């Protein structure tokens, strides 16, 4: 009897899984504090071949973990980016972690470097990691994320409640979307799956955000530089332990870049910062190999561009001595774009 129940249950769940996949859905992991805490703990390693990725969603979409792992298989990379936040709280936390001796690759812009807001969402993630997690809870969340990464039917978007709500409102089940989070916290966006009108509207709204948040004169060069350099003692802590910090300005689209340039001119802000920070700096807008990439929605790279962008960025890190030479990286740069998500 029980065997029959198990077979029927398995067949039902398998049918539901197949139905959603035929409809174009992909597994989608819920990104939350417990999952972030797992990777934050993993970054707490005395191994200099540990890499921590910090920043907002641009580093989650633009940095291909698979490309990195294939290029540097002896390294362990941890995605610690958090959407909609500045990276400084997590960087300070790693600086105060005596076990961390690796490399920090940190996505920044003029606004995040001037961040003094104690309400920064990253503070809550750091606090959660130190006060509310245990080894058991982190491992449980990690294995739960792996399961979510394997089964479409575990997506919160396709929960019974979500399906009922969609049916009541639109007389249809939720359709596939272009954004998917993996169990390693990599955010993949396939903009080819977004309707042109919707992408155009998103782009316009994000440009409006830049215009409101980066008005000309929002910062004065001297006070901005003083604030941006307050993180230097933390950088020195990491360097004394044998680690490194790399500031990276990720690609934007041309219009968003123009708004930021008008607000914080390169020569008056970034160029002065570069001469005084002890960290390594990479500006994707000024390097030919990286300047060709553009973000369709102003700030996020398409999932089909991320592997090639990552390979080009890693090449810069090799040139600057942050990472060792990699024959695999050279071979990957010669390959064409990967196919889009199916």
Residue 14 lies in a domain: no
CA distance 90 to 41: 12
Pairing relationship of beta strands 76-79 and 187-189 according to DSSP bridges:
unpaired
Residue 281 lies in a domain: yes
Residue 8 has pLDDT above 80, yes or no: no
Residue 7 lies in a domain: no
User: Which has more confidence, 161 or 339?
Assistant: 161
% of the chain exceeding 70 in pLDDT: 94
Burial track 134-147 (b if 16+ CB lie within 10 A, e otherwise): eeeebeebbebbee
Enclosing domain of residue 262: 20-333
pLDDT in tens, 267-326: 999 999 999 999 999 999 889 899 999 999 999 999 999 999 999 999 999 999 999 998
Q: At what angle do helices 232-240 and 88-95 cross, to 10 degrees?
A: 40
Q: What is the pLDDT of residue 337?
A: 47
Q: Which of 80-94, 142-156, 160-174, 206-220 has the lowest mean pLDDT?
A: 160-174
pLDDT in tens, 23-67: 788 889 999 999 999 999 999 987 889 999 999 999 999 999 999
% of the chain exceeding 90 in pLDDT: 65
Residue 10 lies in a domain: no
Residue 333 has pLDDT above 80, yes or no: no
Identify the band that residue 117 occupies on the pLDDT scale cut at 50, 70 and 90.
low
Count structural domains, the chain.
1
Task: Quote the tokens at residue 37.
Answer: 């805490």
């Amino acid at each position: 009897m029980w065997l029959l129940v198990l077979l029927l249950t398995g067949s039902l769940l398998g049918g539901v899984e197949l139905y959603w996949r035929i409809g174009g859905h992909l597994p989608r992991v819920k990104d939350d504090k417990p999952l972030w805490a797992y990777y934050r703990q993993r970054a707490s390693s005395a191994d200099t071949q540990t890499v921590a990725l910090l920043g907002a969603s641009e580093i989650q979409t633009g940095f291909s973990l698979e490309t990195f792992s294939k290029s540097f298989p002896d390294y362990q990379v941890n995605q610690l980016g958090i959407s909609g936040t500045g990276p400084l709280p997590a960087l300070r936390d790693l600086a105060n972690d005596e076990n961390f001796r690796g490399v920090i690759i940190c996505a920044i812009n003029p606004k995040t470097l001037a961040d003094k807001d104690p309400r920064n969402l990253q503070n809550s993630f750091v606090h959660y990691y130190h006060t509310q997690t245990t080894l058991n809870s982190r491992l449980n969340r990690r294995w739960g994320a792996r399961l979510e990464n394997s089964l479409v039917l575990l997506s919160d978007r396709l929960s019974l409640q979500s399906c009922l709500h969609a049916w009541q409102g639109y007389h249809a089940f939720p359709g596939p979307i272009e954004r998917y989070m993996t169990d390693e916290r990599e955010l993949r966006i396939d903009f080819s799956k977004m309707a042109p009108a919707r992408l155009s509207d998103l782009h316009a709204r994000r440009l409006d955000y830049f215009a409101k948040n980066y008005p000309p004169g929002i910062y004065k060069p001297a006070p901005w530089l003083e604030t941006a350099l307050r993180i230097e003692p933390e950088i020195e802590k990491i360097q004394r332990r044998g680690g490194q910090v790399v500031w990276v300005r990720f690609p934007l689209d041309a219009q968003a870049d123009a708004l930021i340039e008008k607000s914080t001119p390169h020569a008056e802000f970034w160029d002065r910062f570069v001469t005084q920070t002890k960290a390594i700096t990479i500006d994707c807008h000024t390097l030919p190999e990286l300047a060709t990439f553009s973000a369709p929605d102003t700030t996020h790279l398409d999932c089909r561009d991320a592997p090639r962008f990552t390979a080009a960025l890693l090449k810069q890190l090799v040139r600057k001595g942050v990472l060792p030479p990699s024959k695999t990286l050279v071979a990957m740069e010669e390959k064409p774009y990967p196919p889009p998500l199916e």
